[in-house]
Chain A
Amino acid sequence: DIQMTQSPSTLSASVGDSVTITCRASQSVSSWLAWYQQKPGKAPKLLIYKASNLENGVPSRFSGSGSGTEFTLTITSLQPDDFATYYCQQYNAYSNTFGQGTKVEMK
């Protein structure tokens, strides 16, 4: 299995801050990487696919970058609705693997 490692595990920030979450793959996944947001009691919600493509309806303050083994999710001007847990996911034809999650909490 391809292992996905996110950092940090927890991130404390304030409304208006810009935050960056990193996801590293144990081997190259090309650009086959997605980012999800999850709130308590809810299913994950797709934010970014193919490393940098914004899903329809997702605010433009979310952006993704990277390829190969290192990826980032950036949220500029953090909003109250953005406090949540974020997961990366690699996907290829045969499998998927998720990172362990990054909780963005209010400072």
Chain B
Amino acid sequence: QVPLQESGPGLVKPSQTLSLTCTVSGGSFSNGSYYWSWIRQFPGKGLEWIGHIYYSGRSYYKPSLTNRLTISVDTSKSQFFLKLNSVTAADTAIYYCARRSAYGHTDFWGQGTLVTVSS
């Protein structure tokens, strides 16, 4: 098991920035085999990959989110971060942090955190 835990505000106002932190336990964070992912699930169930990042900072983003998205890491704290700017109601979702295995599939997930965008 690789415990991952999301944290951050559950309510964000439209046009503001959604900021989440994922804390990874278990010592694998700086293991060169893994990337660390953000995935969201919209109400009514669709899953959407947001992006993933290596411990070195190399990252890949969903193209349609690139202009609003920043994913970063702090290896000293075994944490990675999500910042999504200029949010709208369409960004309301459960946000999961997860581990991307060496093969590329997602093998461990956090429990998820609901973020609602509303005034």
Contact = CB atoms under 8 A, between A and B. Distances in A.
A49 B48 contact: no
Interface string B89-119: 0000000101011011111011110000000
Interface string A14-54: 00000000000000000010101000001111100110000
Contacts, number: 61
A95 interface: yes
Interface size class of B (residues with CB under 8 A): 20 to 34
Contacts of A44: 47, 106, 109
Interface in A69-107: 85, 87, 89, 91-98, 100-101
Interface in B32-84: 37, 39, 45-49, 60, 62-63
Interface of A: 1, 32, 34, 36, 42-46, 49-50, 55, 85, 87, 89, 91-98, 100-101
6 contacts: A32-B103, A89-B105, A95-B49, A95-B60, A98-B46, A98-B47
Given A32-B104, A42-B111, A98-B49, 5 more contacts: A43-B96, A46-B105, A91-B103, A100-B45, A101-B45
Closest A-B pairs by Cβ, 5 of them: A43-B109, A96-B49, A91-B104, A34-B105, A98-B47
